[in-house]
Structure 1
Amino acid sequence: MAIGMIRTTTAITREVVPIVSANKTQSRANVLAVYKEMQRYAPELYREFHLEDMPLSVFRAALKKQYTDNAHLTDFRVIDRKIAECRRMFAELGKSACCTCKFHRVFLESAKRRFCTNPKRLQSQQTSVDGSDVKTFAKLSPDWTKEDGPFKALYSMNRLRLPLIVDTIGRKSEQGHDPLLGLHIADIGCGGGILTFPLARLGAHVQAVDASADVIASVKEAENCFRHENRGSGKATFKCSSVEDFATKNAGKFDAVVASEIIEHVADVELFVESCIQLVRKNGALFFTTINKTIASRVMAIWIAERILGIVPPGIHNWSKFIEPKFLRMILEENGCSVRLLHGMIYNPLTNNWSWSRNMLMNYALVAIKN
């Protein structure tokens, strides 16, 4: 009987190759290492399985849950076995770029059931454009050039945006003017050129892009006036295009990309940000301003700003599409960028003034550099 027990124990030991030693510290270290490796694979799995219907952050949370569900395990041999299974899966994924394995089918079907509100979107998504938002802004086309109209808060925001851009990429000159002289800047989601024209007046060559043909058409007259009246060296041109199509034709051509107050209106944040990164050259800068996803932003940006004070047109914002700074940072860092600045902004609707703040519960600005 004793001999039989020894043989059984030996068999188990051979079947489960020890990965961790018999102490909690080493066990936790190895589990953490595998967890980090899984999270490192997350963007690749996310794209490979076409899970665009859910945010990457939700997908990461789902992976994390697989680990927390096993937090009760204390038997080192069981932990070893699960770690070994994970590492075998990593090896299989590395061998098969097309992911035709059983894991692909099982995981994809599971993801469809758990996360996807519209499984058809799992097939492929080539654009981050949100058609409903494009229609909303198209209806507001006549108001883009009115500084005291529905977009007056954006005009006022230039008092923060312009100095931020100039301080980051501007060139000092003895004359003290045209600090953006000769720099090529892409203004993504440009709308009516509220930021485009001021950048051009500072000497930049600005290529403004918007997905709405109606919005671009509405700004053509202003573009022509600027072309005839501007005596400086700056230029402003407008184009109707998705950022993805524009990036395909203009990869690495810009010294800076500005995506101000647009990321909260796109259908696929990760695809949008990746396209912005594609546009900028190495060591170029990316500027984002957007709204944080907090209870405060739901109350202030939607209930109060839209429904009570009427600062912005009703229905222009969707709280579910707001993005937390940590997730925007994560996307940038995963795509080879370094975040250099992350700062809060506060708007006073009574005075129509913006100011910098350490508080990021509402609006924030982020500056990143492409490595």
Structure 2
Amino acid sequence: MMYKISGGKQLKECLKTALEHNLSVLISGPPGCGKSEITAQAAAELGMPVDELRLYLMEPGEAKGLPDIRDDATYWTRPNWLPLPVDGKRVLFFDDIHLASEQLQSPLFELLLCHRLHGHETSDETRFVAAGNLSLHSAGASELLAPVMDRFDIAIEFSPTVEDFIQYATSRNVSSKISAFLIAYPEFLYDPDPPTSQKFHSPRSWFTLHRVLSAGYDLNIAVGVVGVNAGAKFIDSYPILGKSINDLLKSKPESVKDQVVIAAALSRHKPNVKVLDFVAKRLTAEAQMCYVMGEMTFNFDDIYKLADHPTLSRITDELLKKMEGK
């Protein structure tokens, strides 16, 4: 069992507490969900440099040092990645730990236990964090050895949330059309069991899609960035997502899902009387829920307008209580 965390904010706070108290952490989560980025943010906010390592790219001698025979005794050379005792407080981050073979995992036994590897010490102030996708179905994965797992103080199972993605995406000027799409289709934020040899949707691939489209590529390239299913749905929804607020208010959605996409597209804009009346009178309860969630994400400062609305106040209060509970 692992401690389950949803959302980057909660993971970052958990990591900061662990780093402050020198507790080693293992993070498991789907690829492309921000484990490395969040670890770097947590360390940076504490003023700790991060040494990022990928054991699976190393030869065994690189990972644990090479034997050196001197005076009829065997010694081991110091791996160049191992911080010196004088290096002080820093984070050793082992990324994609699930791709390291059992042989390459072996240096972690001694390192996690006593900050030492074959007699070569590192500072007691060195922090250890490892991340990977420990799902049994992960492509190319090796099982994490039980003694290694046991030596981590905390094991976390992480899943991203649309709310955290959108807030971070907004700070990076990612297209609000992508964010609105994910409000309408949160199931396309990430794939918990991604396929092999195919593109798939993840927070990282949505950021990539923004960069690719900004470079001038045709919209149809989406299937080659976020995968066939998410890409096709994004292409299908794009005409609605790109409409002006006036055109959205003139829409006559034929299906429930069209209503949800319209609601998500409307939530990109500041709420006004016309928009709120349209949502309350023309959209289904599911679409209304989507709209309120979008406004809470895009325009939280204006949420009081929804809380005072006779039809939307109940949904707004319900979502605010859920937010407070988190």
TM-score of the two chains, using structure 2 as the length reference: 0.31
Larger Rg: 1 or 2?
1
TM-score of the two chains, using structure 1 as the length reference: 0.29
